[in-house]
Structure 1
Amino acid sequence: MWTDAIEDAIAKTLQNIDRFGEKFPHVSRNGTYELNDNNDWTDGFWSGMLWLSYEYSGDERFRQAAEATVASFHKRLRDHVVLDHHDIGFLYSLSSKAQWIVTRDESARQLTLQAADVLMKRWREPGGYIQAWGRKEDAKEAGRIIIDCLLNLPLLYWASEQTGDPAYREAAVLQAEKSRRFLVRGDDSSYHTFFFNPETGEPIGGATHQGYSNGSTWTRGQAWGVYGFALSYRYTKNPLFLESAKRLARYFLEHLPEDHVAYWDFNAPVQEGTYRDSSASAIVAAGLLELLSHLEDQDSDRAYFQEMLLKSMTSLVERYATIGEEDAEGLLKHGSYYVHGGVSPDDYMIWGDYFYLEALMRMEKGITGYWHERV
């Protein structure tokens, strides 16, 4: 099943090279991807898909297309095009860092280190956190962290390993610890976002931007937590990060519907037409694979996580993938971007496609993503 799913994904990705040209896919409307000129937070995922496809197939067409995206990321950093956010890790871990991991290209390594420096500029004192969105002087956003940032921290951990400079790692550890303390709730659910007083660092409270309500659990946010804490554990071996990943994973899995693919928010009323978010389940599948790599055989959660991973991935392949739909642009149907905002609440999400392919590659070929160096 996994090989067939990968082959289908590779074929669609190859078709999309011609469809997308020099542009980058974001989310789709009515089955057609919206494209941009490398100015959105999601553009690294297309690059990552190209690198995964190249690693699997060896087809030089994927390598050439992937290298072209990295050239675009060189230009984006040089011209500072829409980089006033914390998603620098999404952009550069899956593009230039991927190129470094796959080809050991020194210019790609240097570009990735420059990107880490850009992310470090978002560190805010006295609060001691990475500001999620907006400029430092933006009063509305100056005190905001969001759970998504956990997937941007591997860029900083990696930069510290590469340079020997502890500042990158220290910032990442403090951000992960702050996320653990304030974004993870006592019942193992999570806030999407949390605010602090930017002048004093005093905690204000949790909220949401894309979830159902401030007190609800936005499923994609929970998914970022599962994978993000597992990656922070990989880099630090702090048992609290491993425990947080396990707690969030169990909550996510225990609140899934019968087909093992998440709705867009765990607190959204379930009725006919309630939107799913297949991308959240794809992220958790990839996160579970990372988490399982750190669990001993005797760990009481291991068998449960393994069982649920297989159930979720089987459901994604059999019920949500576009296998057999030769002209489909995306790999996973029924993803949700911003339900309250009315933006693509039931369509393809490029990050959903990426994490679905990453999970398949890891399950079938042992090819991990690009969040860390290969051992």
Structure 2
Amino acid sequence: MVDMSSHYVRSQMLAQEAPPSNTTGLGAWLRQNLFATPKDAVLTILALLVLAWLIPDAVNWLFIKAVWSGADRTVCATTEQVGGIQPAGWSGACWAFVQSRFSMFIFGRYPLEERWRPILVGVMLVALLVPMLIPKVPRKGLNAALLFVIFPIVAFYLLLGGVFGLSHVETANWGGLMVTLILSFVGIAVSLPAGILLALGRRSKMPVIKTLCIIFIEVIRGVPLITVLFMASVMLPLFLPAGVNFDKFLRALVGVSIFAAAYMAEVIRGGLQAIPKGQYEGADSLGLGYWQKIRLIILPQAIKLVIPGIVNTFIGMFKDTSLVMIIGMFDLLGIINQSFSDASWATPVTPVTGLIFAGFMYWLFCFGMSRYSAFMERHLDTGHKR
């Protein structure tokens, strides 16, 4: 009998062939993303025409005609003069104004000789935050303890002073980007765990706890942040005993934190409701207690599902910190608006330049949070990987 298997079974694999030329490269990307259909092609062409119309003037105003250095408004007032008397036209962006006021935009009225303290706090924050955000860096527990427990205490005494020979700096002198970052960091650090507890409380089977959590969440979410800040800044002292008072900045921190916590609770609750009932039953079958079940089984899955919602809440809170200007605190946007009243820089282009700078700074931080959110989604998306 003749063995015919050798005629049909391949003993060597074929060499891998290159993909079709029309599926790779710049041309393929353009066809797939910009010119896939006639409608996409029309929209792409219209968008390119709009950009071609807007970008040259924007680049010309922002960079080419812009003034980059100078001591006062005279450098930004005009591009040239006719006969040395009549101005011929306004200049481009007045980046000299931003350069002159840059330190104030970052630190507010914090004393110049003491600004090494917020700089040191910023370096400590970066040194602790970066390892926390990189998944492969070990000892996350120690890192979290240093970042969320030790660091706030050290930063508080460094910034406020009054101890260890440091001069006292009142919070009324704090301002600029420093205040924005402090409000955001505290709000994020407080709102996430508080939101988790509120979400668990709202789903609790104990009527008292459930009712209290529902009332807190619905009341806070039912009013704007400005109302919460006014309550914390103006009305709270009226309910305190005589002689008892809290710093205005601390009241703003509390107001922003509880407002963000109410919204965070609903985001977390959405993740908890998305977990299949079988996960709860499986945890119960293993004999796990309530907190073990939540900590080890339910909460990790729920948080992974709602990462976009969590980061969206953080981004909204970061931008909403500008509302503290209403209660007399000057964050980044507030200190820039206050600088517009300086007569030495009073030109038509100064406010626009300052607001563009503020918008760019807000976009920089918000875009960074958005990109990190996308990175974490890809890193944790293990459910459909092969």
Question: In which range does the TM-score fall when normalised by the shorter chain?
Answer: under 0.3
TM-score for the superposition, normalised by structure 1: 0.28
Higher helix share: 2
TM-score for the superposition, normalised by structure 2: 0.27
**Larger Rg: 1 or 2?**
2
